[in-house]
Structure 1
Amino acid sequence: MSNANADDFVLETVGLTKSFKGFVAVNNVSLKVRRNTIHALIGPNGAGKTTVFNLITKFLEPSAGHIHYNGRDITRTSPADIARQGMVRSFQISAVFPHLTVLENVRIALQRPVGVSFHFWRPKTILNRLNDRALELLEDVGLQDAAGSLAVELPYGRKRALEIATTLALDPEVMLLDEPMAGMGREDIERVAALIKRLSANRTVLMVEHNLDVVANLSDCITVLQRGEILTEGKYEAISEDPRVREAYMGNVDA
């Protein structure tokens, strides 16, 4: 057990377990995510990473165990309530509307927390205020030059940046990123990795990521899963030298 204060950990799972008709996909996973860090979940294909993510964000109900967020038990809390409390999964709420502009996508995301929803007849002062904040968020993710472009016209990497901007519109304390670099070329990977690093300055990031170079460069702590269980945990330098991790990835180094 760590001697750190419980307040140091924004997210914690205790004995998290998920069975599907007798198959145990996640088994007794106890995870502690330290506040204001980047924490990565890695492991070979079938290790249970996405299932853990789905359990934490309540897209799946656990068969056993508990999830605590800021010291509160959220095991039975709905995904929407968890998002309102400040833990938001990118691409969970932030689906991009392809035939709206980049600015309009972020403005719609900004309307959700304040209950404005799709009331396009709101006073112009409110829409202008939303526009100003939307432009700030686009600048944060390097998309200010594309504000008037249709989302469908964006290259893949910039579309992922837009998805992150719409997630940021909900002002999350914890951002959960599920394979943020999937399908990207080197240039996009470098851009989005730099963005995640910058955004982590005042919030916590928990991510599932297959690209081990990204994990090595970004993560403060890495949890390695294998067959639904935690194999080991620590900084990249230590886990990369662990013979059990090398064996888990043998012949599957990009998983």
Structure 2
Amino acid sequence: MSIVLEARGLTKEFKGFVAVNDVDLKVEKGTIHALIGPNGAGKTTFFNLLTKFLQPTRGTIHYEGRDITRLPPAQIARLGMVRSFQISAVFPDLTVLQNVRVALQRKRGESFDFWRSEKSLTRFDDAARERIEEVGLSEFVHHRAAELSYGRKRALEIAATLALEPEMLLLDEPMAGMAQEDIERISALIKRVAKNRTILMVEHNLSVVANLSDRITVLARGEVLAEGDYDEVSKSPEVIEAYIGAGYD
């Protein structure tokens, strides 16, 4: 398998505090790779370093063999590596169709000038409907995003992300705040969209991680504690101690 994303010696210091310390990571193309760890392990900081919302103190990041360490987030997204956030980021007063259409406009270099007519945007509708169908929201295509359940808002966010035609998705706690029914729906969605894409996700729900992940990296105190498949990392004495010691449920 080829490596699509690689971090080498990634380190982030905040005024003497080392949040991420000399972390190496390799994500294989076409896999679902989970990043887990107890609270305070450095997962969010590391994720923000990979997606360039933070600059590393030391270390490098390579995507598809290209050094992206100093590139801004927007340029990385144009290369095909796109992230989601813990809080659903959709336009609440736009319909499902309109939300995905905005993403399609951005991908194709269209401006968002307020004087554009509605009719001029309908050429994006077929492509938008394809993405909406892919995430299972076809029956909600004309609903305002604000009317959707939380889980369906996350599905809409993924649809808008897919409209950018990413090669790699980085999902930041995609199951956060969800009821069990939504967790099952979004888990199935992630499995579907991963068929021809690479996914790296930060996730607290270990049953989700066990069900979805091909490979898992465990962080603790800003360092890699263990790596492997779920059976390997779940039986690691160091991992068990780290979770129990942090009072993780």
The TM-score bracket by the shorter chain reads: over 0.9
What is the aligned partner in structure 2 of residue 149 from structure 1? 143
In structure 2, how many angstroms separate the alpha carbons of the residues matched to 1:134 and 1:42?
33
1:220 to 2:243 alignment:
no
Runs (5+) with no aligned partner, structure 1: none
What is the aligned partner in structure 1 of residue 128 from structure 2? 134
In structure 2, how many angstroms separate the alpha carbons of the residues matched to 1:146 and 1:230?
42
What is the aligned partner in structure 1 of residue 248 from structure 2? 253
Question: Could you tell me whether the CA contact under 8 Å between 2:39 and 2:248 is conserved in 1?
Answer: no
Question: Could you tell me whether the CA contact under 8 Å between 1:223 and 1:230 is conserved in 2?
Answer: yes
Amino acid corresponding to residue 248 of structure 2 in structure 1: V
Amino acid corresponding to residue 118 of structure 1 in structure 2: F
Show the 5 A alignment for 1:42-81.
Answer: 42-81=36-75
Show the 5 A alignment for 1:152-231.
Answer: 152-231=146-225
In structure 2, how many angstroms separate the alpha carbons of the residues matched to 1:123 and 1:151?
18
SS state of the match for residue 200, structure 2? strand
Percent identity of paired positions between Structure 1 and Structure 2: 67
- Give the 3 Å change call, closer, same or farther, for CA 192–67 of structure 1 in structure 2: same
| Residue 253 of structure 1: how far off its partner (Å) | 3.2
Over the residues paired in the alignment, what is the CA RMSD in angstroms?
1.5
What is the aligned partner in structure 1 of residue 110 from structure 2? 116
In structure 1, how many angstroms separate the alpha carbons of the residues matched to 2:66 and 2:205?
32
Runs (5+) with no aligned partner, structure 2: none
Question: Could you tell me whether the CA contact under 8 Å between 1:175 and 1:205 is conserved in 2?
Answer: yes
Runs of 4+ displaced beyond 2 Å: 119-124, 126-129, 251-254
Provide Cα deviations, 1:26-53, integer angstroms capped at 9, x if missing partner.
Answer: 0000000000000000000000000011
In structure 2, how many angstroms separate the alpha carbons of the residues matched to 1:41 and 1:183?
18
Normalising by the residue count of structure 1, what TM-score does the alignment of the two structures yield? 0.93
Normalising by the residue count of structure 2, what TM-score does the alignment of the two structures yield? 0.95
What is the aligned partner in structure 2 of residue 95 from structure 1? 89
1:15 to 2:9 alignment:
yes
| Residue 122 of structure 1: how far off its partner (Å) | 6.3
What is the aligned partner in structure 2 of residue 35 from structure 1? 29
SS state of the match for residue 164, structure 2? coil
Provide Cα deviations, 1:96-138, integer angstroms capped at 9, x if missing partner.
Answer: 11011111000011100111132463694x6333111111111
Number of positions where the alignment pairs a residue of Structure 1 with one of Structure 2: 246
In structure 2, how many angstroms separate the alpha carbons of the residues matched to 1:36 and 1:11?
11
In structure 2, how many angstroms separate the alpha carbons of the residues matched to 1:123 and 1:141?
24
SS state of the match for residue 163, structure 1? helix
In structure 2, how many angstroms separate the alpha carbons of the residues matched to 1:122 and 1:115?
17
Amino acid corresponding to residue 226 of structure 2 in structure 1: T
